[in-house]
Amino acid sequence: MNTAHRPRRLAAGILAAALAGTGLTVAAAPAAQAAAYDAVAKLPISSYSALAVDSVHARVYVADSNIGSYYNQGTIAVYSFDGALVRTIITSHHVSGLALSADSSFLYAGARDQLLKYDTTTYEVAGVVYVATDTCGGSGAFSGGKAYFTVAYVGYTSQCDTALSELDSYDGTGAARTDWYDYGRLQLEGGPGDRMAMGQPLNAQATDPYLGVFDTSGGSPVKVASRRFADADGKGALNFKDVSFSADGSKVAVADASYGTRLLNTDDLSDAATGYPALPAGATASSVAFSGDGKYLARGAAATGSTPDLLLQPADPADSTAPLEFVFEGALDGDRVAPRGMEWAADGSRLFAVTTNAAGSQFWLHIIQPPAVQYDVRLLAGLTHSPAQAVAGEPLSVRGKLEFDGPAPGTPLKVTATRTDANGVHDLGTATVKEDGTFTVLDEPDLVGDATYTVSYLGDLTHQPATDVVHTVSVAKAPTSIALTAPAQATLDGVHLTGTFTAQGKALPDRAVLKVVRTDKLGTGTLSSVTVAADGTFTIDDIPRARRDVTYTVSWPGDDLHEASEASVTVNVTR
């Protein structure tokens, strides 16, 4: 029986209930636990070739390739989003790739020598296109208004792994060869913005396979990026299993059985700046799927024992939230996620995962609903800050406390914070919540006036977002000071003064220039200004014009971030 795991947070008990006549098992956790809902249907197929999800009509299509004989029939099993078997479509010959039209009006299925077009409301054939004979079972994708399929012809199915595969297209009026081809069971995946990915599995004819991205907006696909992964010594070659576009199309994730999960930039297939953590030890990547709402990434794997076969985590690789981990082990679940075996509902509410046994002869369909809002989280009012008087350009700590329901998280929760001042909103990043619920946001305000701090908890796979808390701090100018040293007495031959200028907060853009004023019995006058040295020191040399007490006043006018300062010293001048 499958169990939804979350390290040190989640080990959900499962309540299994069989629904008569549907082949469906529903795995449901007790209310006190935070488990993903996992409905499991035993599939009526003996081999697996493709999965397609129709979010418009809430239907899931699973194809049985059944390759091996010219006379073999194919099967497309149609399920509801709740896991109930709706229809079984039997084709005259094996069926391989599946592709849904952009509006989900039609399902395209690649058969042995036909491209079958089905109405997705009646499940009846809406058209048959005769295409080149395919004896290996190809891949399908819908992109740029066309259905694309790979086609390979060999005399024996044992030759399929190294067969020459052609890329064909269907535009609604007829099929055409695109002139793109290569060796092996080429796999296709459609993505946003009329983009389509093609992955080449590792095989004897392709020891350094490639991944390519195509622009399908025109009459024929145009390759816009491609990459091979082996180094100069031939090491590190791609062992392709699956590919998925991120919701915004800027990234592609690749399930590489040798590497794990690769995250690449779509425009040039370079490595993304931040990647995903390695899969658990003993797990081999088999499938990958981004949710259409941009929240989640599902990573499927082949693993044994208690090693997770499926990780469900935030799509943002910088989000360190611990994933939900699923272990599939046994006759009710399958043993691993099948290659290319995962797709999401468009709104991210459900993940559909095909699992298989170790022999690859039995298959299950899992319908998983992420537990995105299981437990309440509260940010307590009454944020505090220190020091009591905030100063522009100096460190400031804003402290608060978070409370959450349910078991302790596997990894510490994090809050996000912003500062709003006269210059707008500034992102302060994240702060880790300690075991006692307290957290500290560190900042250095750089503007005088009110600074409003907003602390948020945005939620994760098992916690609800919390209501923001707000705290306003009055930020003052940073203080400055002038220290003057002078002799008690001097003569008319000259007075030598030394001093130090100190400015707290943000460093001055230029060295301070100090004003010097002399007052004696003849009146008050301004002397030449003095520029402070890099170490803050300065000197003043003056020839007094009169005897008796002479007062020297040194001042700095301040700036937008610093207060003004002044210091005076009196010297008794003799002849």
**CATH number of domain containing 359:** 2.130.10.10
Q: Are residues 357 and 440 in the same domain?
A: no
Q: How far apart are CA 110 and CA 65, in angstroms?
A: 10
Place of tokens 């040190």: 8
Kindly state the average pLDDT of the residues 247-274: 97
Domains contained in the chain, number: 3
pTM: 0.64
Nearest to 571 by CA among 517, 520, 515: 520
What confidence tier does 37 reach under pLDDT thresholds 50, 70, 90? low
Q: 16 is in which domain, residue-wise?
A: 3-369
Structure confidence at residue 471 (pLDDT): 97
| Domain termination residue (choose one: 332, 350, 369) | 369
> What sign results for the dihedral spanned by CA atoms 442, 445, 450, 451?
negative
Place of tokens 């006190």: 32
- DSSP letters, 44-79, are S-SS--EEEEETTTTEEEEEE---S-TT--EEEEEE
Q: How far apart are CA 559 and CA 575, in angstroms?
A: 41
Structure confidence at residue 519 (pLDDT): 97
| Domain termination residue (choose one: 450, 476, 502) | 476
What confidence tier does 267 reach under pLDDT thresholds 50, 70, 90? very high
pLDDT digits over 52-97, tens only?
999 999 999 999 988 777 778 899 999 999 999 999 999 988 888 9
In order of 312, 484, 497, 517, 540, the CA distances from 491 in angstroms are 84, 19, 13, 19, 15
The length of the chain, given as a count of residues: 575
Q: Are residues 75 and 123 in the same domain?
A: yes
Nearest to 455 by CA among 395, 378, 376, 374: 378
Nearest to 45 by CA among 75, 71, 23: 75
Nearest to 252 by CA among 279, 225, 286: 225
Beta-carbon count within 10 A of 488 CB: 8
Q: How far apart are CA 259 and CA 267, in angstroms?
A: 21
Q: Are residues 334 and 431 in the same domain?
A: no
pLDDT surpasses 60 at 39: yes
Q: Are residues 352 and 493 in the same domain?
A: no
Q: Are residues 450 and 544 in the same domain?
A: no
Nearest 5°: CA angle at 117, between 115 and 122? 150
Beta-carbon count within 10 A of 220 CB: 16
What confidence tier does 508 reach under pLDDT thresholds 50, 70, 90? very high
Could you give the 3-state DSSP secondary structure of residue 566?
A: strand
Q: Are residues 341 and 452 in the same domain?
A: no
Task: Check if the beta carbon of residue 415 is closer than 8 Å to that of residue 379.
Answer: yes
Q: How far apart are CA 413 and CA 8, in angstroms?
A: 13
Average pLDDT for the chain: 89
Q: Are residues 508 and 422 in the same domain?
A: no
Q: How far apart are CA 276 and CA 263, in angstroms?
A: 7
Q: Are residues 317 and 448 in the same domain?
A: no
Instruction: Identify the bridge partners of residue 426 per DSSP, sorted by sequence position.
Output: 419
Structure confidence at residue 36 (pLDDT): 53
Q: How far apart are CA 24 and CA 287, in angstroms?
A: 23
Q: How far apart are CA 47 and CA 72, in angstroms?
A: 12
| Domain termination residue (choose one: 304, 338, 369) | 369
**CATH number of domain containing 458:** 2.60.40.10
Q: Are residues 270 and 137 in the same domain?
A: yes
Instruction: Identify the bridge partners of residue 134 per DSSP, sorted by sequence position.
Output: none
Identify residue 104 by its one-letter amino acid code: S
Q: How far apart are CA 372 and CA 459, in angstroms?
A: 8
- Exposure string of 329-351, with b = 16+ CB inside 10 Å and e = fewer, is beebbbbbbbbbbbbbbbebebb
Of 206-210, 218-222, 323-327, 393-397, the poorest mean pLDDT is in: 323-327
Q: Are residues 434 and 512 in the same domain?
A: no
